[in-house]
Amino acid sequence: MIKHIVCFKMKEGCSVEEARQMLLSMRGREETALAVEVGVDALHSPRSYDLVLIVTLADFAALERYQTAGYHAKTVKPYMHTVTDTAKSVSVDFEAE
């Protein structure tokens, strides 16, 4: 199993809730995603990111398909690039035990 985690900083004036809903819309639409979790920051500390996405995928081949094809690549990713500061977003991809 692969865990794909992305932390997002929202652009000024953009809705965290709308972004959360867009990310959650991958459930049942993105065939490579075995599970999709989305969390909104509750502490709002100076170090905090606004939103986190956690996607579980079968393997690195599924992660590649997720990044380049399908609902995520064609719909979700372009939207997220319009509402988040991509220079301040971070990600981690790892094999889960």
Residue 11: the pLDDT is: 97
Which residues on adjacent β-strands are paired with residue 83?
Answer: none
Number of domains the chain is built from = 1
Residue 97: the pLDDT is: 82
Which residues on adjacent β-strands are paired with residue 40?
Answer: 51
10-residue mean pLDDT series, the chain (97 residues):
98 97 97 97 96 98 96 97 94 95
What is the domain range of residue 18?
2-95
Cβ proximity of 96 and 5 under 8 Å = no
Q: What is the DSSP string of 39-76?
A: EE-SS--TT--SEEEEEEESSHHHHHHHHHSHHIIIII
